[in-house]
Amino acid sequence: MELLVFLVLVVVAIVVQATVYKKHMFKRLGYRCGFSQPEAHEGDTVYFVETVHNRKFLPLPWLKVDMTVLKWLEFEGTKPVENLDKRYLASGFFLRSYQKTTRRWEVKCLKRGEYSIDTVTMVAGDFMGMVVESLPVKVNAHITVFPAVIALEGMMTSSNYLQGNTIVKRWFIDDPFVVSGAREYLPGDPMNRIHWTATAKSNSLMTKKNEYTSHISITVLLNIQSLEYEADHVINRDKVELGIKAAATIFDRALRFGTLARLGTNGVIPDFERNGFLTGEAAGRDHISQLLRLLAKLELRKGRDFDVYLESICGKIRNNRIFVITSYINDRMLKTLNIMKKLGNEIAVIIPEPDGNEGDAGGFETYRIFGGRRHES
């Protein structure tokens, strides 16, 4: 009889606790998550921070948070289930009464893009596993991953680097303040500007004399096509991604030197432009960050053929240093570039990973880049 009473009491207790958990499990339970910074570059490591707060007396014996992220965000120490471009992640918690706990994940940003976790699902249960409930929670965690800034100096060759009277043909590799000679040292000149060779020759202290680059504005024109005859979507994606990194590197240098810059491309950005665009020209961190955001959002598909795009913006750019980043060259493009040159523009062509079919750059200053080595600043 005592055993029967005991069993009845146990069953009643189980049912009561199950009923209590079913009714109050998610009450006064807070969850939030987000990235440690809103922006990063490819290859950077950031943190994804989860905070759970149980603001009631009832403990939670187990709580699981399920989320879906794109596979280009690599969460350290996890073995996620992958399906195409997505990863399914889960984190588990045990929460005592009125306990608040925080978990930090190291996340490596593998690829440029915009990434969001809009909703997670909290799944919780009672002690006996009789009740399992789920609740979707809106979190709106977001991060923009800029293209990597790469070391162009160590990965490029020049086909026909021109030398002449024009100062600075490769200012995106070198400081735009170029040494053009030496003068006598004046009080207040910094010691790191001493021209030691001239000092030795003249037997008196000499300082490097600089001339500012002849161009103070740059335009990057990015061809999103990897082949001249290509459907909407890019075939040789690595080529185009390397070109995007080269564009990001040029903008990074423009920021360091306070140079006016703008971006033009025949690419597509959702909810922005579908036939290519040319941004306004400006300098400063906010403007360069906006250009990098556009590069991060670029889809690998064209809005229109690059030669058609060039013709549409030809007369809008004057007296600029223009970097044309393209995987190929054709006669129609060269004709337009020559017209742009007559408008006072200095033009350099950057070809990512040439395969022998990129064509003749028609005598324009040409650089070929062969690989991706990250820039360490």
CATH number at residue 142: 2.60.40.10
Assess whether pLDDT exceeds 60 at residue 354.
no
Task: Report whether 239 contacts 225 (CB < 8 A).
Answer: no
Domain that holds residue 200: 179-212
- Quote the pLDDT of residue 358: 55
Q: What is the pLDDT of residues 9-48, one digit of tens each?
A: 666 667 777 787 889 999 999 999 999 999 999 999 999 9
Verify that 107 and 198 share a domain, yes or no: no
| Phi/psi of residue 367, nearest 5 degrees | -125, 145
Q: How many domains does the chain have?
A: 3
CATH label of the domain that carries residue 294? 3.40.50
- Name the domain boundary from 99, 128, 146: 146
> What one-letter code names the amino acid at 178?
V
Q: Which tops the pLDDT comparison, 153 or 58? A: 58
| Phi/psi of residue 336, nearest 5 degrees | -70, -40
Verify that 67 and 156 share a domain, yes or no: no
Q: What is the pTM of this model?
A: 0.80
Q: Is there a domain that residue 323 lies in?
A: yes
Verify that 183 and 128 share a domain, yes or no: no
Verify that 74 and 163 share a domain, yes or no: no
Q: What is the pLDDT of residues 331-352, one digit of tens each?
A: 999 999 999 999 999 999 999 9
Rounded CA-CA distance 307/326 in Å is 11
Rounded CA-CA distance 347/221 in Å is 10
